[in-house]
A and B are shown apart, each in its own frame.
Chain A
Amino acid sequence: MNLVSRILRPSRVAFAHCDGPCGVYDPASARIAAEAVLSMEKKLAALGDGQDLATQNTRGRFIAIKEQQAELAKKELDILWHDYFKPEHLEKYPNLHDTFWKAAKLCSKNKTESDPANGEALLAAIEEVHKIFWATKNRDVAFYRAS
């Protein structure tokens, strides 16, 4: 038996894998950036319209972080859209392009405006991406927020 298994056992392994250059994708990175955007929008709203120097400086910082994180969210969405998703996924989820297009547009809107409603809308759009993403991997992953 030992001899038979020695004769039969393969001498090498060949991979029929799927991998990106790193292979690690997760809509969570877009979600975290979007949460930072929403957080800045809420802080801006709470800051009020004070015109003293300290308030102006703080407002400037909040806006800078909000725009930076909105840009990051857009980039993270693009990585999923361009690198992870393949034509076969589009066939199965025909609204894929529309979902990403709307999410990217919302990133821009969050840059030009400061309404927390835009941040909420962006998170909702990322939740849609999350659902499609994990469905393509046949995994049931719940969407959650860090804050």
Chain B
Amino acid sequence: MANRRGSTGDRTPPFPFAGAILLAVAISAATVAWARWRFLRVAIEGGSMLPTLAPGDWVVVDRGPFRDYRPRPGDVILGRDPRAPEREIVKRVDHIDLHGAAWLLGDNPAESTDSRQFGALPPGAAAGRVRWRYWPPSRISRVR
């Protein structure tokens, strides 16, 4: 190949699109890593969120694009039981009080243990919002 004046010299790339492909791979890897950080796959146990969520449902929890998730009234959230922090729970946010704490209530209140028993979830204690159900296939839908 001719050595053009002003070019970077004879460092001809071994494959013309190598840079572009490397960039594409890097971007996809970053996207996958980001998506894995942002979205969690969670299995539901128990009936306190019936009929919205049934035991055995698999859902996607959205932790928010960049910063920590902040619960809003009406959201179905993934949080932690204040009495037993190793225990993750799914409930609906009833309201946010003056201190920013989330008061949770099950959609099936007769069979739910929620903020009526354990009080409010402190600010920052909600991991994310339940956005979609992806299993079972017959029940694939958004979760509202």
Report if A95 contacts B (CB, 8 A): no
Q: Using an 8 Å CB-CB cutoff, how does the interface string of B35-59 with A read, 1 for contact, 0 for none?
A: 0000011111111110001010011
Partner of A8, one of B58, B90, B106, B109: B58
Residues from chain A with Cβ under 8 Å of B109 in the complex: 86-88
Partner of B78, one of A9, A14, A17, A136: A14
Residues from chain A with Cβ under 8 Å of B116 in the complex: 86
Report if A16 contacts B (CB, 8 A): yes
Q: Which residues 46-99 in B have Cβ within 8 Å of A in the complex? A: 46-49, 53, 55, 58-59, 78, 81, 83, 87-91
Contact A11:B41 (CB < 8 A) given known A16-B90, A16-B106, A17-B113: yes
Taken together as a complex, chains A and B put the C-alpha atoms of A87 and B105 apart, in Å, by 13
Contact A14 B45 (CB under 8 A): yes
A-B contact pairs, 9 of them (CB 8 A): A8-B41, A8-B134, A10-B43, A13-B42, A16-B48, A16-B53, A16-B89, A16-B91, A18-B111
Chain B residues packing against A (C-beta within 8 Å): 40-49, 53, 55, 58-59, 78, 81, 83, 87-91, 106, 109-113, 116-117, 134-135
Further 18 A-B residue pairs, CB within 8 A, beyond A16-B45, A17-B48: A9-B41, A11-B41, A12-B88, A13-B88, A14-B44, A14-B88, A14-B89, A15-B45, A15-B90, A16-B46, A16-B49, A16-B53, A16-B91, A17-B45, A18-B47, A18-B48, A18-B112, A88-B109
